[in-house]
Structure 1
């Protein structure tokens, strides 16, 4: 018997109502499995991509917060240093006021340094507007000449 249609295989007598056996090709099953595998791999890739994106976002957020924390720590340390320096300045101004007192200065000069108060008759007045030491202009010329001589000697070597 020649089979004309592969989908309908007749077995038995044609007078009795034949029972049809459906033929399912195995090729379709393989294609379905391949399609399922492709879908599964695409789904796995999407899941891995989403996990990667969440991981990167988490790392960026943690890095950002760590930078902010470090900057806050630096700000606190600089504020502490500024406070210490301000306290030192206040202490120095208090000491300056203490030493600025004329009575304290006289007491220290007389008792610690054994100084005596000058008398008006022993005072010597000097005119500080006049120049006492005169500069010798020939020294400048000698310096220039000596420098030129050194350069000439260095040049001709």
Structure 2
């Protein structure tokens, strides 16, 4: 008989296997291996939890950046809308001031200007020379003219 595979009772029934003390070392080794496997499983679980936590933090950070960018975009769009409304108001005012009737009424009422008549009009002949030349001043200018020309050449 083989001592390692010893059976008690009938072989037809399911025998109860009783290991000898020789086999206790294997069981003890299996218990250490089971403990190490449990520790490894716990470490994997903790590692997975840490990885998911870091991924969650990264996602929350990214969504916060997107939210801040969206609020900045909305405020910029509101500013553009306000400026376009102001621009439209200014164009309406320009059309109002572009009317000659409005300008004439403002000049008469606010500035106390008088509407000119044909009787009050003064006609000037622009073909005649208005400036009189003096010969004495011209002679002095010719003497100083040479110095002025030199100064102009130097300073250019």
TM-score by length of 2: 0.61
Q: Does 1:36 align with 2:43?
A: no
1:95-136 CA-partner distances (Å, limit 9, x unpaired): 111111101111111222233345664255769xxxxxxxx7
Structure 2 segments unaligned to the other structure (5+ residues)? 5-18, 128-147
Q: More relative contact order in 1 or in 2 (CA 8 Å, sep 6+)?
A: 1
Distance (whole Å) between structure 1 residues aligned to residue 25 and residue 126 of structure 2: 124
Match of residue 52 from structure 2: 54
2:81 is the counterpart of 1:83: yes
**1:7-18 counterparts in 2 under 5 A?**
none
SS of the equivalent of 1:113 reads coil
Cα distance in structure 2, aligned partners of 1:42 and 1:137: 101
Greater strand content: 1
SS in 2 for 1:48: helix
* Mapping 1:6-155, distance limit 5 Å: 22-24=20-22, 27-118=25-116, 121-124=121-124, 139-143=151-155
- CA gap 1:86/1:70 in 2 versus in 1, 3 angstroms: same
Q: Let me know the Cα RMSD of the aligned residues.
A: 3.1
For 1:125 and 1:112, the matched residues in 2 are separated by 33
Once the two structures are TM-superposed, the CA of residue 33 in structure 1 deviates from its matched residue by: 2.5
Q: What's the counterpart of residue 145 of structure 2?
A: none
Q: Distance in 2 between matches of 1:125 and 1:22?
A: 143
The 1:97/1:23 distance shift into structure 2, 3 A limit, reads same
